[in-house]
Structure 1
Amino acid sequence: MPVTAQFHFLQGNINHCARAQDLLLQSMSEWSIHVAVVTEPYFIPARDNWLGCADGLVAIIGETLIDPSRGRGWVAAVSGGIVVVGAYFSPNKSLADFEGFLVELGAVVGRYHPRPVLVLGDLNAKISA
């Protein structure tokens, strides 16, 4: 599928809630969403249109997901000519862990160069006083 202005994306954190996951799937259908990134999913089913990260914290749901890759807290695939990267980082981890995660995420984006890349997810932050 070529990249067009009619390609629709959705991203949300559903906080491990079954009803929220059902609502996300219903919304995808009603709004003609092609690809969704869901952080903290209730579960990641073993289906061709779902791709989860190594630790189950983020998933991509899409019509056609090709060239997938995954790691801890991130998952990536190509859909409609666009690289979609889903990411989740816990606010309970250290700044050093976050910096390391960003380096890894940067390498993932670089791996798919020169295709267009869309990074969606929940990269939590907190202020330490």
Structure 2
Amino acid sequence: MTFAYLGCLLGGLACMGLLDWRFSLFWFADARRAAWVHGIGFVCFIAWDLLGIGFGVFTRGPSPYLSGIEIVPHLTLEELFFLAFLIWCTMVLYTGSARILHTLRKRPGDSGDRR
């Protein structure tokens, strides 16, 4: 069970990739922009984690589901994959929601008056 959480995260990333590929929502819509957004978000979240670890707010507790691999003390390998998943999931939800709302606003025969 040592790598269970990492396996779940990798599975989630694979599913997010399929969803993104199928509907061209984030990486498959504009890879250059996605790289910037994903990269900047990742750096910000890592900085946040490192500050939290430095101030003693974030610690690594015992868990049989973690790999035990630490990048720095209290920052596990799984955290890196979790942050990548979190950012990707957020952007897929945002772009997907924007696309749905745009489609609903442009329905044929709709006068556009929403009273």
Q: Same fold (TM over 0.5)?
A: no
Higher strand share: 1
Normalised TM-score (structure 1) = 0.28
Higher helix share: 2
Larger Rg belongs to: 2
Normalised TM-score (structure 2) = 0.30
